[in-house]
């Protein structure tokens, strides 16, 4: 296996968001030039599906998902005859979070089922249950699904054990893998040089904030009267996030008139996925530009989660816990789904880190009240960075966007091998979900996914759907700037990664509840647990795979 994900991001074009979006818009415009009726029909499909239901027309429903799925069947019909999979049954395992993910897949695939004759059975999982269910299937050798919605971090567990089916060449052509942003191209989705993944997402965490908080004259005056450091403006460092969050405690929200809050930390675990949000605070402190590693030492697999950088991130959270009304009531029981969908989008809190799709939900979900007042950027930086190689802090500004989860993909399992009809059916379903046109719709509307193709970064298509130009520049720009950042914190595709994350959540919960005496003691408990996991899996093999994931 040759994994060079870190090198890809380091070598990515170092351009600003306007250059990047201008370039991709030009590419999209060029590829959309009339080349006969087929090209015109393709362009028309993209424009037409973005009108379903239209920005500002309410949240999409199953009727809309089926309509979009039907309109995007053209590529399927070029590779599959009508009724070709009659009698074939497939089982699909994925998420049912926030009425997204599998709910959309059902709608998208219903017209595919009607055309091909195949039948899909569904295994729906809550996010907090996902890792345990997948690991149980792997450990017991009882893979009872043919298709899985899965993130790249699990590729070490699944692809490394030979549990998936290699992608046929016709699928590569149908989904146009060359259109992926560079961050998601090989080695992501590959193992030992073979391709296994249809990308349907391009995860990174971005920073969402309430513009009305920073345009409010009363808050500005209070900040100045209370001796706030610097201007009352959108924070660009975690140090500013901390200061603003403490200041806002006890103030009034300018939109709702209820209690104002600053940054919304999720303090409850989420099946390992919640650890990404502690990482958001830590990467600017921990990811040194001259060192590709930030989670472990690449020579020994010694955890870095208890070094001064991570301890600072944990301490930041503990400091806000200690401030009355800095967080909403009962924040100790708020997981990331709560912070995004029940708090921030619903008008509670002024700042949030989350996956980029919170941006599309802000404008197209019935549950959002912040669509007109939300802004986006890359994750905050820090005023200093810890150098793990020298063991000292450096008083140098640093940014390191967290490429959390490397995006959801659709994978076909080896259970289909030996049955050519079932194998082709499974890959056809995966290709339909990862289709170029359908993916544009999923990026623009609530889906659980964010932009991940070069063709997604075309202003005009989003404007035609009903987005205004300034919002699109801000939203798409925060994603583009994160993908292309030269110091992005890349997640390793190593076996057991969610075992590490899950136990970290458990220990953080104890620390936040006061069961440990300090942030350092909490971090030390996580590090000890991580060492035990590494020894159980095999330290030498983990070192080799971790180094490979960093391109070393």
Instruction: State which residues form the domain around 151.
Output: 45-199+408-449
d(CA 168, CA 250): 58
Residue 520 lies in a domain: yes
pLDDT at 18 exceeding the cut of 50: no
Mean pLDDT of the chain: 92
552 — pLDDT class (breaks 50, 70, 90): confident
Residue 476 lies in a domain: no
The pLDDT of residue 549 is 87
The pLDDT of residue 42 is 62
Q: 189: which 2 tokens?
A: 């989705």
Q: Is 278 helix (H, G, I), strand (E, B) or coil?
A: helix
Convert the pLDDT of each residue in 249-262 to its tens digit.
999 999 999 999 99
40 — pLDDT class (breaks 50, 70, 90): low
pLDDT at 135 exceeding the cut of 50: yes
Q: Are residues 60 and 176 in the same domain?
A: yes
pLDDT at 106 exceeding the cut of 60: yes
Residue 466 lies in a domain: no
The pLDDT of residue 24 is 40
Q: Are residues 140 and 174 in the same domain?
A: yes
pLDDT at 4 exceeding the cut of 80: no
The pLDDT of residue 98 is 85
Residue 13 lies in a domain: no
The percentage of residues in the chain with a pLDDT greater than 90, rounded to a whole number, is 87
Output 328 or 32, whichever has higher pLDDT: 328
Do 430 and 171 meet the contact criterion of CB atoms below 8 Å apart? yes
The pLDDT of residue 506 is 97
385 — pLDDT class (breaks 50, 70, 90): very high
Q: Is 273 helix (H, G, I), strand (E, B) or coil?
A: coil
The pLDDT of residue 243 is 98
Q: Are residues 224 and 357 in the same domain?
A: yes
Residue 8 lies in a domain: no
User: Phi-psi bin for 232: left (phi > 0), alpha (psi -120 to 50), beta?
Assistant: beta
Residue 17 lies in a domain: no
What torsion, rounded to 10 degrees, do the Cα atoms 425, 428, 433, 437 define?
-150
Q: Are residues 220 and 309 in the same domain?
A: yes
What is the mean predicted confidence (pLDDT) over 488-497? 92
Q: Are residues 400 and 414 in the same domain?
A: no
pLDDT at 23 exceeding the cut of 80: no
550 — pLDDT class (breaks 50, 70, 90): confident
Query: How would you classify the pairing of strands 408-412 and 197-199?
Result: antiparallel
Convert the pLDDT of each residue in 425-473 to its tens digit.
999 999 999 999 999 999 999 999 999 999 999 989 999 899 999 999 9
Residue 467 lies in a domain: no
Q: How far is CA 337 from CA 264, 268, 413, in A?
A: 11, 10, 28
Do 4 and 551 meet the contact criterion of CB atoms below 8 Å apart? yes
Q: Are residues 236 and 380 in the same domain?
A: yes
pLDDT at 10 exceeding the cut of 70: no
The pLDDT of residue 99 is 86
Q: Are residues 414 and 391 in the same domain?
A: no
Kindly tell me the sign of the dihedral angle through the C-alpha atoms of 36, 41, 43, 44: positive
Output 346 or 97, whichever has higher pLDDT: 346
What is the mean predicted confidence (pLDDT) over 81-110? 96
What is the mean predicted confidence (pLDDT) over 161-172? 97
Residue of 199, 110, 192 lying closest to 411 (CA atoms): 199
Residue 542 neighbours by CB under 8 Å, 6+ apart: 301, 494, 495, 496, 534
Q: Are residues 312 and 416 in the same domain?
A: no
d(CA 368, CA 6): 36
d(CA 329, CA 235): 24
What is the mean predicted confidence (pLDDT) over 278-288? 98
31 — pLDDT class (breaks 50, 70, 90): very low
CATH value at residue 413:
3.40.190.10
d(CA 413, CA 39): 34
What is the mean predicted confidence (pLDDT) over 353-357? 94
43 — pLDDT class (breaks 50, 70, 90): low
20 — pLDDT class (breaks 50, 70, 90): very low
Do 124 and 95 meet the contact criterion of CB atoms below 8 Å apart? yes
The pLDDT of residue 35 is 44
Convert the pLDDT of each residue in 389-412 to its tens digit.
999 999 999 999 999 999 999 999
How many domains are contained in the chain?
2
Output 6 or 524, whichever has higher pLDDT: 524
Last residue of a domain, one of 422, 449, 476: 449
Q: Are residues 490 and 424 in the same domain?
A: no
Residue 472 lies in a domain: no
User: Phi-psi bin for 332: left (phi > 0), alpha (psi -120 to 50), beta?
Assistant: alpha
Q: Are residues 240 and 377 in the same domain?
A: yes
Convert the pLDDT of each residue in 68-94 to its tens digit.
999 999 999 999 999 999 999 999 999
Residue of 193, 253, 478 lying closest to 362 (CA atoms): 478
Range with the lowest mean pLDDT among 12-21, 170-179, 327-336, 434-443?
A: 12-21
Residue 130 neighbours by CB under 8 Å, 6+ apart: 95, 271, 273
Q: Are residues 193 and 214 in the same domain?
A: no
30 — pLDDT class (breaks 50, 70, 90): very low
Q: Are residues 58 and 88 in the same domain?
A: yes
The pLDDT of residue 289 is 98
């Amino acid at each position: 296996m040759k994994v060079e994900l870190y090198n890809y991001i380091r070598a990515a074009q170092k351009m600003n968001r306007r250059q990047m979006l201008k370039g991709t818009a030009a590419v999209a415009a060029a590829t959309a030039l009339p080349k006969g009726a087929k090209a015109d029909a393709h362009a028309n499909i993209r424009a037409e599906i973005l009108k379903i239901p239209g920005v500002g027309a309410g949240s999409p429903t199953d009727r809309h998902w089926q309509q979009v799925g039907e309109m995007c069947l053209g590529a399927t019909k070029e590779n599959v005859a009508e009724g070709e999979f009659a009698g074939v049954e497939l089982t699909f395992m994925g998420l049912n979070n926030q009425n997204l993910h599998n709910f959309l897949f059902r709608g998208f695939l219903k017209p595919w089922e009607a055309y091909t004759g195949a039948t899909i059975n569904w295994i729906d999982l809550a996010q907090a249950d996902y890792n345990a269910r997948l690991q149980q299937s792997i450990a017991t050798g009882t893979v009872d699904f043919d298709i899985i919605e899965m993130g790249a971090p699990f590729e070490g567990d699944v692809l490394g054990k030979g549990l998936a089916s290699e992608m046929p060449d016709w699928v590569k052509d149908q989904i146009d893998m060359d259109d992926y942003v560079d961050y998601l191209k090989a080695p992501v989705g590959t193992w030992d040089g073979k391709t296994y993944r249809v990308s349907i997402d391009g995860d990174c965490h971005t920073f969402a904030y309430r513009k009305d908080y920073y345009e409010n004259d009363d808050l500005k005056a209070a900040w100045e009267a209370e001796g706030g450091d610097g201007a009352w403006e959108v924070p660009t460092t975690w140090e500013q996030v901390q200061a603003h969050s403490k200041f806002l405690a006890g103030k009034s929200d300018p939109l709702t008139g209820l209690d104002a809050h600053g940054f919304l930390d999720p303090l409850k675990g989420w099946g390992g996925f919640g650890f990404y949000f502690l990482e958001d605070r830590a990467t600017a402190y921990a990811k040194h530009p001259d060192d590709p590693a930030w989670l472990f030492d690449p020579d020994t697999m010694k955890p870095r989660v208890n070094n001064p950088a991570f301890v600072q991130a944990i301490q930041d959270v503990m400091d806000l816990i200690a401030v009355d009304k800095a967080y909403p009531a009962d924040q100790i029981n708020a997981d990331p789904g709560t912070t995004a969908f029940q708090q921030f989008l619903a008008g509670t809190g002024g700042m949030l880190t989350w996956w980029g799709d919170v941006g599309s939900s802000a404008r197209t979900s019935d549950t959002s009240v912040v669509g007109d007042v939300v802004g986006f950027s890359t994750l905050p930086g820090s005023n200093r960075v810890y150098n793990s190689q020298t063991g000292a802090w450096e008083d140098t500004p640093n940014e390191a966007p967290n490429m959390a989860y490397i995006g959801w993909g659709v994978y076909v399992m080896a259970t289909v091998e030996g049955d050519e009809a079932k194998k082709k059916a499974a890959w056809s379903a995966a290709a339909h979900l990862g289709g170029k046109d359908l993916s544009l719709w999923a990026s623009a509307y609530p889906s659980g996914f964010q932009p991940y193709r070069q063709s997604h970064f075309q202003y005009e298509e989003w404007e035609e759907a009903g987005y205004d130009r300034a919002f699109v520049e801000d939203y798409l720009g925060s994603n583009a700037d994160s993908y292309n950042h030269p110091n992005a914190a890349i997640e390793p595709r190593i076996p057991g990664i969610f075992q590490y994350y899950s136990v970290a959540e458990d220990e953080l919960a104890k620390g936040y509840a006061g069961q440990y005496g300090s942030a350092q003691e909490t971090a030390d408990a996580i590090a000890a647990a991580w060492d035990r996991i590494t020894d159980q899996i095999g330290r030498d093999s983990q070192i080799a795979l971790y180094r490979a994931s960093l391109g070393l």
